[in-house]
Structure 1
Amino acid sequence: MRVYLFIAAIAGGATWLVTPLIRHLAIKIGAVGRVRARDVHTVPTPRMGGLGMLFGFAVAMMFAYRIPFVGGLFQGSSQMWVVLAGAVMICLLGMADDLWDLDWMLKLAGQLLISVFVAWGGLQIISLPLGSLVTASPSISITITAVLIVASINAVNFVDGLDGLASGIVAIGGIAFAIYSYIIARSSPSYASTATLIDVMLVGICVGFILHNWHPAKLFMGDSGSMLLGYLITCASIVMTGRLDPASIHASVYLPVFMPILLPVLVLFLPVLDMCMAIVRRLRKGQSPMHPDRMHLHHRMLKIGHTTQGAVLILWGWAALIAFGSLTILFFEARYVAVGFVIAAAALTVATMYPYLRRRIPEIREENAALEAARHAGRKRRDGEGE
């Protein structure tokens, strides 16, 4: 565990140190986001922060390569190098979008090509738990892997609308994934786990970037960052769910570990929900699924009356509840987990609606008082007419 914490600290420290340099570079080359109608910020802010996170991830990987405990993960397998190569390509694609605002179809095509390359390079969902462990054909495996990566990339991209929101949600998901994969790795002769390694580096770069991205943000992650985070958390999920022997895992761990489609949805529930709602909303209006609007979850939170920081913290809370709610099933009985989940959900619901209720309740009281006064006046008028 100490090795993983050290690697996470390296990733976070490297990201934190290099991000100010990336900010100056973004300003110099013109990667500055103009204020659009759908944006929350009011001042043009440099983006391309994903390059700093990629640097932190690469530095942490170089350290991990030299550490004996996890260095064996790089021997006899190209999986980690494939992950790094994919990270570089997806970040470069995002940087191109940060600079030139690529057409959404071109960007989607690039995401799909990179995802297919990564899957072809060996990062694949090898099997799916459909009753028994069913081995998929290579073409089906590559297709499912590529679709899952592209979906997660865009889910994180959709939710990246407030300072610190996307990086915080992904960090929470990375911690949950790391705990899952670490528990699973303890059943093997070595505690070293590729999934855990990716997760802790992911959490490190998220924390390192948040220190510069908290409101008011000095730098946005841009598509280079949101796409990178969605890609990395999905890679960790694929590694964890695709190559484990169910016979060696306790039955209570089986379901959450061998559901490669379910895990990203649980951990990235808010981004996935936001993406699905946006697609349905836009298609119903006859618009492109990528047509921008101001109806995302974070926009709704601001309309309720939350500050930017308050909205981010509450959405982090929902993300943590959903991610760690599934994790607690490994340690406690389902009924206790359900009770705790309901209590926490109720508390978060109150916190979510509090600004609206604080504003609306006095309005309701005034409306009721006015209605009662009108009724009282009507009764007095009828009594006067009766006399």
Structure 2
Amino acid sequence: MHTNGKAIITTEKLPIKLWLEADQMEEGALEQARNLANLPFAFKHIAIMPDTHEGYGMPIGAILATKGVIVPNAVGVDIGCGMCSLRTNLTDISTEDLKTIMSIIRNTIPVGFNHHKTQQDEAWMPERKGDLPIVNQEYESALYQIGTLGGGNHFIEIQKGSDGYIWIMIHSGSRNIGFTVANHYNDVAKALNKAAGEDISNDLAYLPESSEYFELYKNEMDYCLEFALANRKLMMERVKTAFREIRPEVGFSEFINKPHNFAAEEEHFGETVLVHRKGATRARKGEWGMIPGSQGTGSFLVKGKGEAQSFESCAHGAGRIMSRTQARKKLDLEEEIQALDDLGVLHAIRGRKDLDEAPGSYKDIDEVMNHQKDLVEVQIELQPLAVIKG
């Protein structure tokens, strides 16, 4: 069934509104969306963005609004994961300068599982407010992790904007502190649901408002959101320092930050609900956002249109078309490298293990953007010049 350009699935307890064709969804993601639509506490409908793919319990690129409960896995294990962008006042940069800048960045920002060898300045850490048992437990370790990129699809990218300027974009999250908070409260939710005799999938275990753990998780989630932001800010400072070393005349614009793994209390359809966005970006009317492609395709700075049916949300990126394992097995290493070399991108693909982040493992970003013209308006298109991947 279609309405207003969206596909709608009406076979479940609540409608599922898709910003893509139903046959474009992988079976696993579609099954997860059906599970969401049958949750007793889900509100109004489920919204699925065009970059969707299978996640853990809930599809990436999905929005779930609830009443009276919070679902840790509907936020995900990388709480506060998101993007930030900064515009420089440079209109050009040489390949040699780019190579030197990227080398400095690699020496100052640990990637993958690596952390800093010494604790970072505690002034970068968010203030701890209220009862935060897991945050307090992980706090000392987090001092080594703030200002680190992490792995997977996290990146630092230097880009050329359609506005004529050089831009910097960073994608990262809350590192191990967010992972530990997420897993702890998912385990708590599973135990609570089981004790109450609730027939809820363990992957979608929830914390009811009546439980002390509801507020505890919210407090710790909010801290992880602040930590993830601080993490991106510190990395951005290190990138700015690298630019200044090579181009001392450089200046920088205001910092734009957008998380895409979080839950927030919001007003929708006349009611106060808890909106869970897992791999989805909030896109209120006039609100800035970032939608990155792959390291071989464009990214977009957008402004939201405030579309009610998507719970004022949009896609958070291109979205995967194959799993990491599939990408390493199926993609041609030479072809992927050659395609990026032909584009002149200083990229991060060295061997077969890096193919999980090759452009061929992602959806066509232009198609993703075409599916959500009612959600966002493109302001600036950004083309990759140089990329560091986690």
Band of TM-score, shorter chain: under 0.3
The structure with the greater share of residues assigned to strand is: 2
Q: TM-score, normalised by structure 2?
A: 0.25
The structure with more radius of gyration: 1
